[in-house]
Amino acid sequence: MSKWWHDAAIYQIYPRSFQDTTGDGVGDLTGIRQRLGYLRDLGVGAVWLSPIFQSPMSDFGYDISDYCAIDPLFGRMEDFDALLADAHDQGFKLLLDFVPNHTSDQHRWFQESRSNRSNSKRHWYIWREPASDGGPPNNWVSNFGGSAWEFDEETEQYYYHAFLQEQPDLNWRNPEVRAAMSDTLRFWLDKGVDGFRVDVIWHLIKDEQFRDNPPNPAWEPGQPEIDRFLQVHSADQPHVREVIAELRDVIEEYENRLLIGEIYLPVDRLVAYYGGSNDGVHLPFNFQLIHAPWRAERLGELIDEYERALPAGGWPNWVLSNHDQLRIAARIGPAQARVAAMLLLTLRGTPTLYYGDELGIDDVTIPQDRIRDPWAKNEPDASFNRDRARTPMQWTAAPHAGFSSGEPWLPLTDDAAERNVACQGDQPHSILSLHRALLKVRGAVAALRTGNYARLGVSGPVLSYRRGENIAIALNLSDVAAPLDLPQRFARGEVLLRAACATSGGAVPDEIGPNEGLIIRAR
């Protein structure tokens, strides 16, 4: 049965950085609402908002203190309702970011839980006795560095936090927690939201005995501390899938809603999250290409491996970047970013685009005194800070690129005067025009959305594959021209779109240019 996400492309908005309407340098819901027209012209079908809920913002909204309230920084509930209504009127689906693994330490549940050992909410979180030497209960490391255990002087126990100490983990083995969280989902589903991206869903259940994680033999100093140990016991426990099936049941109480899981795991373990009988998440986010070496042969292998691993009825999806990763242009260069866009929008499955990548926004150097990412603050020696990929959207050549009338919370790119929607929208060959054209072709050609996938070949730097019977895609992942060797009916076919200049029409060449990508219709 066909679902809306089989056709739609998802667009991720980091609300702090999309459009500010109040002049405080931070984006808001009214700003997003004003930009729906832009998203319609772009051609995406669904919008996913990173967290907009009440939060002390220690991790910029991934630390929630009230799941059913909008943070005043982003607006009021009326603003959300208006955004949702407008989005639906204009034919979009709207997805929210659900962060169930942990709350803020300011959430009243945690305030109660930490108040004393016999509080009724004590077991809503994960409290453990100190080890015999008084130290933390085990060797688990926080994703943001340091021990994952924080000692509470008041009640003389440790609580567990997989991320910041301001983000205590909920105890998902407790049925009361599961019931409360199901109710928060229903609160938003009743309003009409079309689904959720669920934060770190593979973390929800931890080893019941809290055994030490084994050391990672491949870890070297300078790499994030979290990678010193293999996360064997702290995440990806078999029981998590029963918990996810319960979330799925809530989703199924409503029609046409989508459940996405954020899961950083190798492909064999990733696909288990579809659930034994498709009772897991609809889309376990597929990040396999984010850290892949950008070479035709390797990408081809990864794509095939993923296609082969999918369970019957499991719908594929692809992600090339998000608010936790280096920008695409920073990873593979501006010319290949165009090829990457063609790849993302022509593979089989739901694509998720990250705001700003359609402009080719590159890495932004953040001066030391402007770093905001709490992970980077915790681990200053780590080479990456996530702020670099969270800089404001660039709309016009006006001051602050039309993002805000005030000083933006993070700096813009150096080339913001040209790299913006207004400029690129007028240029037929820009990377923005390419994205619009790609989404248009995707909308017009059913094979690109629902046709099957088959590899045609890898030859040198060129990766080629087929969608349905009559569409072929050839991508040159290098900056030198290469021979194009396609089956006859494609070689004699017609070019529907070129990545390097966003033009269409004409015969299929014998050679594919540097940094070029072609969508071809067989004759």
- Smallest gap from Cβ 103 to ligand TEU, in A, equals 10
Residues between 466 and 485 that touch ligand TEU (CB under 6 A): none
Residue 81: C-alpha distances to residues 51, 62, 193 (Å): 15, 21, 10
Residues 520, 523: Cα–Cα separation, whole Å:
9
CB of 262 to ligand TEU, least distance (A): 6
Considering beta carbons, is residue 86 or 363 the nearer one to ligand TEU?
A: 363
* 493/401 Cα distance (integer angstroms): 42
Query: Which 3-state string (H, E, C) describes 309-372?
Result: HCCCCCCCEEECCCCCCCCHHHHHCHHHHHHHHHHHCCCCCEEEEECCHHHCCCCCCCCHHHCC
| Sign of the dihedral defined by the CA atoms of residues 58, 285, 125, 385, in that order | negative
Min separation Cβ 199 and ligand TEU, Å: 5
Task: Write out the binding residues for ligand TEU, residues 225-264 only, by CB under 6 A.
Answer: 262, 264
Nearest to 253 by CA among 347, 189, 169, 196: 189
Using the rule CB under 6 A, is 151 a contact of ligand TEU?
no
Distance between start and end Cα atoms, the chain: 30
Q: Binding to ligand TEU by residue 200, rule CB under 6 A? A: yes
Question: Of 42, 99, 198, 247, which lies in the binding site for ligand TEU, with binding defined by CB under 6 A?
Answer: 99
SS (H, E, C) 203-267: HCCCCCCCCCCCECCCCCECECHHHHECCCCCCCCCCHHHHHHHHHHHHHCCCCCEEEECCCCCH
Q: What element of type H or E holds 449?
A: helix 446-450
Angle at alpha carbon of residue 398, lines to 392 and 401, rounded to 5°? 10
- The CB-of-216 to ligand TEU minimum distance in angstroms stands at 14
Q: Which is nearer to ligand TEU, 143 or 346 (CB)?
A: 143
- In angstroms, the CA 428 to CA 410 distance is 29
β-strand pairing of 462-467 with 453-459:
antiparallel
Residue tagged active-site, from 253, 426, 469, 479: 253
- Residues numbered 162-191 forming contacts with ligand TEU, rule: CB under 6 A: 163
Euclidean distance between CA atoms 394 and 356, whole angstroms: 8
Helix (H) or strand (E) holding 482: strand 482-483
| Minimal distance, residue 151 CB to ligand TEU, in Å | 21
Number of H helices and number of E strands within the chain? Answer: 15, 20
Q: 102 or 466, CB closer to ligand TEU? A: 102
- Please spell the DSSP secondary structure of 365-423, one letter per residue: PPPGGG---HHHHH-TTSS--GGGG-PPP---SSGGGGT-SS--SS---TTTTTSSHHH
Question: Which of 97, 166, 194, 199 is labelled catalytic?
Answer: 199
Give least dist CB 163 to ligand TEU, A.
Answer: 4
Nearer to ligand TEU, 322 or 515 (CB): 322
- Joined together, the tokens standing for residue 290 give 């984010």
Q: Contacts with ligand TEU in 339-378 (CB under 6 A)?
A: none
Q: Within its chain, how far is the Cα of 374 from the centroid?
A: 19
Contact map string, positions 409 to 448, toward ligand TEU, x by CB under 6 A: ----------------------------------------
User: Could you tell me the smallest distance in angstroms from the CB atom of residue 322 to ligand TEU?
Assistant: 7
Q: In this complex, which beta carbon is closest to ligand TEU, that of residue 51 or of residue 314?
A: 51
Q: Closest distance between ligand TEU and the C-beta of residue 447, in Å?
A: 33
Would you say 388 or 436 has its CB closer to ligand TEU?
Answer: 388
Q: With respect to ligand TEU, which residue has the nearer C-beta, 104 or 424?
A: 104
Judged by beta carbon, residue 20 or residue 59, the one nearer ligand TEU is 59
Count of residues that bind ligand TEU according to CB under 6 A: 11
Q: Which of 199, 236, 362, 387 binds ligand TEU (CB under 6 A)?
A: 199
Q: Which of 17, 104, 143, 433 binds ligand TEU (CB under 6 A)?
A: 143
Tell which positions 21-80 bind ligand TEU, by CB under 6 A: 59, 62
User: Between 254 and 384, whose beta carbon lies closer to ligand TEU?
Assistant: 384
Catalytic annotation present for 199: yes
Residue 465 sits in the site that holds ligand TEU (CB under 6 A): no
Would you state the structure tokens that stand for residue 198, as one six-digit string?
């669920």
What b/e string do you get for 166-189 counting C-beta neighbours within 10 Å, with b at 16 or more? bbbbbbbebeebbebbbebbeebb
SS3 call for 127? strand
- Identify which of 213, 210, 208 has the alpha carbon closest to the alpha carbon of residue 227: 213
Does the active-site annotation cover 78?
A: no
In the stretch 300-339, what mask flags binding to ligand TEU with x, by CB under 6 A?
Answer: -----------------------xx---------------
Nearest distance from C-beta of residue 37 to ligand TEU, angstroms: 28
- CB 287 → ligand TEU: shortest distance, Å? 8
Give 161-187 as a DSSP string. Answer: -SS-TTSPBB-TTSHHHHHHHHHHHHH
Closer by beta carbon to ligand TEU, 225 or else 262: 262
Active site residues: 199, 253
Residues at the contact surface with ligand TEU, assessed by CB under 6 A: 59, 62, 99, 143, 163, 199-200, 262, 264, 323-324
